Structure 1
């Protein structure tokens, strides 16, 4: 016999999403005493304190509440999926998909991926987020995201990873740099050059590993977590960088011309992948989005 109801679970997740009973009440159109009573009953039934109450500042999940609420969100998703499946008895894909993306991947790939999927499935809405690799991992573990678009670097076996495309890294140079006369740049030619590092995980370890594998200890003159700041520093002639992401038009935000050259010889490719938490059962919506991404990325790069 179940000791809780889906309505109680829905109320608890809404309180988490909106940060307070009052905000959840306004959003759901349910009286505050009703929400408070449902939450208290759920905590009693589970034997857990799900939230820490902050006087006049709403609530935040307790340590035990984080795990419970992540699982609760997944339960609601599957309950909705089950209801739609029984009602439609077919292949209709609808609902909300929570998609997170690595910060440098998002601008180039997320908009066209979403546009294509939305045109095929107009009943789907998206909740989007961007972040570092660690932030994406944390969000997947906590059930905040259904899937995350990221680089398949330093992945652990807790994630289900679907490779989408591989891209070769390139050398980014100031337009008038001496090495621009080459059609491809040997890494050895960069040994004494100042390096502008994209300082965000896992990019920092990936790009430095490429240089170190060629026996080069990079001289990091500047570093930034922003792709466009890195491109701007290179545009000012302050060093070179190694990147994967290449925005349309080889110019910095300030208008300086940039030169892009492939790396001579074989180097470790960057693999873009879709990741989900293994312990979360895949819904029809997630499965359909995964299939769409696989097809969509065939036009973006070479499949790994």
Structure 2
């Protein structure tokens, strides 16, 4: 029997799994919380597993199965992004994933308008945003978890440029 889920549902699941809450994930992927909740419920129904433990007013925690599912969903999304890259090479179009990190202190001020303009100009680029402190952003850059960081140019190592 064919599976009936979308990459978008997996993207929402991964965002919630990483953020620990539907509200935070909704901000990151720019989608309403009810849409994310519905996507997660559909995934749980499709696969017949509980992915999260819901904690009243304390967000969500991944179940043991949810942690495994998260790892595989992230891998699948990366594989799908690789297909976009291959297609982009042939089409000579700007497309694929773009992971953007931004300082917590100004993310809500800077990112919404910037992201909206960028996504309008490049609709085939899938933007994921991460809001962290300076140290975390620099570590994420060094580990290759994000493609770029919007931050102050303080405490940058020599291998990073502005």
TM-score tier after normalising by the smaller chain length: 0.5 to 0.7
CA displacement at 1:96 relative to structure 2: 6.5
The structure with the greater share of residues assigned to strand is 1
Runs of 4+ in 1 over 3 A off after TM superposition: 94-97
User: TM-score, structure 2 length as denominator?
Assistant: 0.56
Structure 2 SS opposite 1:59: strand
Is 2:3–2:46's contact at 8 Å kept on the other side of the alignment? Answer: no
1:7-26 → structure 2 map (5 Å cutoff): 7-26=8-27
Residues 48-99 of structure 1 deviation map (CA, whole Å, 9 limit, x = unaligned): 1001111111111100111111000000001011011111139x9x8579xx
Aligned mates of 2:62, 2:98 — CA distance in 1: 23
Rounded Cα–Cα distance in structure 1 between residues aligned with 2:25 and 2:3: 25
1:8/1:88 CA distance change after superposition, 3 Å? same
| Aligned residue pair count | 102
**Map of 1:80-91 to 2, 5 A cutoff?**
80-89=81-90
Unaligned regions of 5+ residues in structure 2, if any? Answer: 100-136, 146-162
Q: 1:129 to 1:16 in 2, by over 3 A?
A: farther
Change (3 A) 1:95 1:9: closer
What TM-score, normalized to structure 1? 0.31
Shift of 1:21: 0.4
Partner of 1:72: 73
Deviation at 1:17, TM superposition (A): 1.2
2:62 aligned residue: 61
Q: Deviations over 1:9-61 (max 9, x none)?
A: 01100001111001011111111111101110110000010011111111111
Alignment correspondent of 1:44: 45
- Greater fraction helix: 2
Deviations 1:211-239 (A, max 9, x none): xxxxxxxxxxxxxxxxxxxxxxxxxxxxx
Q: Deviations over 1:266-289 (max 9, x none)?
A: xxxxxxxxxxxxxxxxxxxxxxxx
Partners in 2 of 1:21 and 1:13 — Cα distance? 11
1:170-212, Cα deviation, whole Å (9 max, x unpaired):
xxxxxxxxxxxxxxxxxxxxxxxxxxxxxxxxxxxxxxxxxxx
1:127 CA drift (Å): 2.3
Q: Tell me the secondary structure at the aligned position of residue 82 of structure 1.
A: helix
Structure 1 gap segments, 5+ residues each: 98-124, 131-144, 146-304
The counterpart of 1:127, out of the listed 140, 155, 158, is: 140
Q: Secondary structure at the match of 1:53?
A: strand
**SS of equivalent residue, structure 1 residue 60:** strand
Q: How far apart, in 2, do the equivalents of 1:9 and 1:63 lie?
A: 17
Question: Following superposition of structure 1 onto structure 2, how do residues 131-170 of structure 1 map, counting pairs within 5 Å?
Answer: none
Q: Distance in 1 between matches of 2:76 and 2:22?
A: 21
RMSD, aligned CA: 2.8
Relative distance call for 1:128 and 1:60 in structure 2 (3 A) is: farther
Say if 2:9 and 2:39, in contact at 8 Å, map to a contact too: yes
